[in-house]
Amino acid sequence: MAKSLALWLALYRARGGADPAASGTPPIPEGAGPLVWLRQGPGSGLAGLGLLAQRLRRARPDLRLLVTPVAGTTEAETEAAHFPAGTAICGAPEERTGPVAGFLDRFRPALIVPTGAGLPTVTLAAAHDRGLPVVYADALMTIEDWRGWRWHSSLASALLDRCDVILAQDGDSLRRLRRLAGHALPIELTGTIEGSSEPPPANEAEREALALMLRARPVWFAPGTTPADEEAILAAHLRASQYAHRMLLILAPADPSRGGEIADRLAGQGIEVALRSRDEEPEAEVQVFVADGEPEHGLWYRLAPVTFMAGTFGAGTSGARSPMEPAGLGSAILHGPAHGGYAPIYARLAAAGAARQVAAEEALAEALVDLIAADRAAALAHAAWGVSSGGASAAEEVARQILQRLPGASQAQGLKGAA
C-alpha cells in the first residue's frame, strides 16, 4: 500500500488528545469470542445496525459486540434498535490519535465496521496500523460529500484503501466511491441496512378471531402514543369517522398503565371505548380500542391496514418505534414530520413511495379516508414490505462479509439458515 502525504498531514494535525478514562466507557463484553465494533456514521440507521447485530450473533453466538451510535442518540432510540443482550454501547472516541488508541487498546476489536457517511480518518489509519480488518458497510457518499472530498481526493483514496471491502447503500454512492478510490478497490452495492428486530409475533388463533369480528370495518393503529400526540390522533379519528362509517382506532399507549385513564377520559366525551386489560372486545359499536397491558404490536399491525407512527408530530413526542415494524407486516404507514432516530428509514420509505407524511390532525384525517380504501392501503403496504425485505437482505450480505473475515470464520457457515 502506497504511503500518502495527505494522510500523514491529517494524522499530524489530529495527534494527541486525552485518552478517555476507563470509567467513562462500558465494561468490556464478557466472553472469549472476537469483538466486532459497529461504528454508526451519519446516514446509517441505528435500527439497521440492530438488525445486523442480531444476524451476526445468530451466526456466531460467541461473538461480542460494541456499538458506538452517532452523537445525540437518545436512550429510547438505542433501546428501540433491539441490540442483542450483552452488547456494549458507548460514544465513539474523538477522532484524535490519543483517544482512538486508548479506545482500541481497551476493547481490542477483531474487526471494525464503520457505516454511513464520513471517513473516520484516525480510526481507519489506526485499524490499518494494527492489522485490523475494516468492513465499510452501509457506505453513503452524497453529492455534497463527494464535492467536498474532490479537493482532498488523495486523502480519500488513502482512507478507502485501508478498507478490506466497501459495501455501498446505493448506486450513486457506489459510483462516487469508485471515482474517489482511484483504483480497483472491492466496492459492492448491497443496499441500505434498515430494519428492526424480527417482526413482532402474534397469536394466530387470536388474530383469526379478531379479524372475523372486525371484518368489513376500516381499522387503523397508533402504537406508542403519549399525551402529547393523542389529542391530535383522536381528533383525526373523529373527523375521518364522518366519512368512513364504523372506523375503529386501536390505540396502544407508550405507557400501558395509562390505559384506564385514557378509556375513562374518552368515555366522558361520549366516545364508545373498550379496554384490552379488562378483556373487553372491539365490538361493532366501539370507536376506540385501547390496547393496554402486555405489548401486542405484532397482533395489531396484522389487523390494521393502516398504521400511524405516534411520536412523529413533534414537540413532546419521541418517535421511539421503528416504521420497519409495520412495513414488514403489511400495514400502510402514515407519519408526521418528526422522525427522531429513524430519519434514514423514513427517507428510504418516502423514496420508494412506501409511506405518507402528514403535517397535522386535518391532514391525518384526510390521509386516513384516502388510504382506508383497500387498494390504496395495499399498494403503500406492498412498497413498504419491499423496503423492509431489502434492508434485511442487505444486513445478511454485510453480516456474511464480516463473518468471513473474523477468526474462526468456519463457524459462520450456514448464515442464511441461521438468519
Q: For the domain that residue 31 is a member of, what is the CATH number?
A: 3.40.50.11720
Residues 169 and 246 in one domain: no
Would you say residue 110 lies in a domain? yes
Residues 269 and 172 in one domain: no
> Can you give the pLDDT of all 419 residues of the chain as single tens digits?
556 888 889 888 988 887 665 445 678 888 889 999 999 999 898 888 998 999 999 999 999 999 999 998 888 788 878 899 999 999 999 999 999 999 999 999 999 999 999 899 999 999 999 999 999 999 999 999 998 888 888 999 999 999 999 999 988 999 999 988 866 788 999 888 876 546 788 999 999 999 999 988 999 999 999 998 899 999 999 999 998 889 999 999 999 999 999 999 999 999 999 999 999 999 999 999 999 988 899 999 999 999 999 989 875 555 568 888 898 888 999 999 988 767 778 888 888 888 999 988 889 999 999 998 767 888 888 888 877 776 678 888 999 999 999 988 754 444 544 44
Residues 303 and 367 in one domain: yes
Q: For the domain that residue 255 is a member of, what is the CATH number?
A: 3.40.50.2000
Query: Domain boundary residue among 164, 193, 222?
Result: 193
Residues 300 and 169 in one domain: no
Query: What is the residue range of 72's domain?
Result: 5-193
Would you say residue 402 lies in a domain? no
Residues 181 and 211 in one domain: no
- Work out how many domains the chain is built from and give that number: 2
Q: Distances in Å between the alpha carbon of 234 and those of 174, 260, 277, 331?
A: 45, 16, 20, 19
Residues 247 and 180 in one domain: no
Residues 48 and 120 in one domain: yes
Would you say residue 401 lies in a domain? no
Give the pLDDT score at 166.
95
Residues 302 and 381 in one domain: yes
Phi, psi of 25 (to 5 degrees): -125, 155
Would you say residue 413 lies in a domain? no
What strand order describes the sheet that includes 88-89?
A: 88-89, 64-68, 35-39, 111-116, 135-139, 165-168, 187-189
Would you say residue 323 lies in a domain? yes
Give the pLDDT score at 418.
42
Would you say residue 105 lies in a domain? yes
Query: Domain boundary residue among 193, 215, 235?
Result: 193
Give the pLDDT score at 333.
94
Give the pLDDT score at 416.
44
Residues 85 and 181 in one domain: yes
Residues 84 and 164 in one domain: yes
Residues 35 and 184 in one domain: yes
Amino acid at 280: E
- The answer to pTM > 0.85 is no
Would you say residue 355 lies in a domain? yes
Give the pLDDT score at 198.
62
Residues 289 and 179 in one domain: no
Would you say residue 406 lies in a domain? no
